[in-house]
Amino acid sequence: MTNLQALLQYQGVDAKLLKLDRELAESEEYKAYRKMQKFIKTAPEKLEALDLKATALAAQAAQISAQYAQLETTLAEFENIDELVENGGDISFYKKKMQEIIERLRKLKSDALALEKSIKETSEEYTALKEKIMAAEKPYAVAMKKYKAFKESQEEQRKEIETALATLEKNISEEWLGKYKAKRESKVFPIVFQVTNNVCFCGLDVPIANRDKLSVGTECDSCHRIIFTE
């Protein structure tokens, strides 16, 4: 058997392994498990982000509250406005000042209300997520068990195929086996293709320059499959 025919035989068995992989990847068991796993893995990060947001919002609220208190103290000083005016102060100046402070207080009040709403929402979001995580724990464990059982149901077949492949490998040169395995990583299949009438698996006519090499094996210029003739 030539090197390339051995490779073709190897591929025939390898196709069974690929089929098993696809069956697993496309199984409802895997999809359900994967979806839950994604949620479980990313949830702590989301929780932490919400926690950080809550801390930042609380700091902002404290700042606004301090500003508010300070302005109220300043405003209280204007209680003695009559005295100030009697002593020759300009009433319009004080009135303007007071008005400014009242405006700022109003603005702070509305900021504080918006912030309060935001804090409440963040807290609710945090609680809801935490509950969702807790509720997901059991179904996740069940989904994992089902997925593992499905995978295990393939195990015997998988081992058989792998043993057969290990035996067949011995008939193939290291160079071609290396090329095959590197291409196996990509989604291209079949990897090795026996050309008839100078047409590759991908439909491309094998260029005349490459035709001479087909008897010893070459790569398609378009799909990079290993192509050869008998």
- Of residues 76 and 209, the one with the C-beta less far from Zn ion: 209
Smallest distance from Zn ion to CB 193, Å: 7
Residues that bind Zn ion (CB under 5 A): 200, 202, 204, 220, 222-223
Q: End-to-end alpha-carbon separation of the chain, Å?
A: 11
What letter represents residue 180's amino acid?
Answer: Y
Segment (H or E) for 194: strand 192-194
Of 118 and 194, CB closest to Zn ion: 194
**Smallest gap from residue 174 Cβ to Zn ion (A):** 24
Least distance CB 158 / Zn ion (angstroms): 29
Q: Considering beta carbons, is residue 43 or 204 the nearer one to Zn ion?
A: 204
- Measured distance CA(44)–CA(51) in Å, rounded: 10
Helical residues (DSSP H) of the chain, grouped into ranges: 3-26, 28-76, 81-86, 91-169, 174-184, 208-211
- Nearer of residues 60 and 222 to Zn ion, judged by Cβ: 222
Q: Which is nearer to Zn ion, 154 or 222 (CB)?
A: 222
- Euclidean distance between CA atoms 146 and 219, whole angstroms: 42
- Nearest approach in angstroms of CB 213 to Zn ion is 14
Q: Which residue is nearest to Zn ion (CB)?
A: 220
> What span, in angstroms and rounded, lies between the C-alpha atoms of 13 and 15?
5
Nearest distance from residue 208's CB to Zn ion, in Å? 15
User: Would you give the distance in Å from CA 188 to the centre of its chain?
Assistant: 25
